[in-house]
Structure 1
Amino acid sequence: MSFTLKKRVIAIDYGTKRIGVAKSDPLQLFAQPVGTVDRAGLSGMLEEMLRSDEIGRVIIGYPLGGNGETNAMTGVIDRFIEDLLVEFPQLMIERVDEHHSSKDARKILAASGKSRKVRQEKGRIDSAAACVLLTEYLESRNR
């Protein structure tokens, strides 16, 4: 049995203070947290991954309400995506619904057995939320 390596999928959980990042393995089967960065750190990370030809697609958590309605943060994400495409026009960007990713990330971190203090460290939830987004995305594509 042989496997074909693909380019990685990068997931971004955008926040005004921190940006959570996760990436897939080269087979696009699993998600792994990368960590959190600020906007400049994200640019550097994407630039490096593009230079090494690792990125096939970027998914960005898109905040919609339970009924699919937009909100104030949706506009912020739209502007963020526009800025990313100006900076990196070669990126393939896809919006994915994120309305429950942070809640799911908190549950996963609670189940991990880590102390409450560790679970609440800045950025841990952001990175875990990006991982939740990416896991759901990969599972939906591999069904």
Structure 2
Amino acid sequence: MRRVVRFGIDVGKARIGVARSDPDGLLATPLETVTRDTEGTGHVDRIAQLVAEYSAGELYVGYPLNLRGESTPSTEDAVRVAREIATGTGLPVRLIDERLTTVSAARQFQAAGRSASRSRSVIDQAAAVILLQQALDQERASGKPAGREIEVDDEDKLD
């Protein structure tokens, strides 16, 4: 397993959940929920600040396909944000299948007796933890980084 801090990023329409790993890639933990800046790059700027603060070396962005594995408008939005983050941080960004991570996170909160509607920002972080932990576990099992690295100037559909 490569020794590097990794971030997991769950892109939503209003918020972006961010999680980080330890340098050994053993455990993903929640970090922050960043408000999505639909008019500018405030969310990218904040993620770049977090990357610098925690010396992250690789980023995983959730790739939200539908249950049939097809692209949706959310998929295209996540890819667009992933490209912005790659450009803004200068780091490798890998897309990782994140079907049902937010649903899983919300269910965990409901099972713990917490209101999902009042815990949205924490759920976004929990979804980022789930997708990052999935990436860490895949890399540990295969010996190779999980997902697909996004090319900043790659305009093809990544389905």
- TM-score calculated relative to the size of structure 1: 0.82
Alpha-carbon offset, residue 54 of structure 1: 1.5
CA distance in 1, matches of 2:6, 2:122: 20
Alpha-carbon offset, residue 7 of structure 1: 1.8
SS at match of 1:142: helix
Q: Give the unaligned 5+ runs of structure 1.
A: none
Aligned residue number for residue 101 of structure 1: 101
Calculate percent identity across the aligned residue pairs: 29
Preserved CA contact (<8 Å) 2:10 2:125 = yes
Alpha-carbon offset, residue 42 of structure 1: 4.9
Between 1 and 2, higher relative CO (CA 8 Å, sep ≥ 6) is seen in 1
- TM-score calculated relative to the size of structure 2: 0.75
Aligned residue number for residue 39 of structure 2: none
Classify 1:68/1:116 alpha carbon distance in 2 versus 1 (closer, same or farther; 3 Å): same
**Which amino acid in 1 is paired with 2:51?**
M
Q: Does 1:142 align with 2:140?
A: yes
Q: How many residues align?
A: 136
- Aligned counterparts, 1:37-76, within 5 A: 37-39=34-36, 40-50=42-52, 54-76=55-77
Q: Does 1:31 align with 2:32?
A: no
70-79 vs 4-13, which moves further: 4-13
- Aligned counterparts, 1:126-141, within 5 A: 126-141=124-139
**Which amino acid in 1 is paired with 2:10?**
D
Alpha-carbon offset, residue 41 of structure 1: 4.9
CA distance in 2, matches of 1:5, 1:134: 15
Preserved CA contact (<8 Å) 2:106 2:116 = no
CA distance in 1, matches of 2:8, 2:27: 12
Q: Give the unaligned 5+ runs of structure 2.
A: 37-41, 142-159
Alpha-carbon offset, residue 85 of structure 1: 2.7
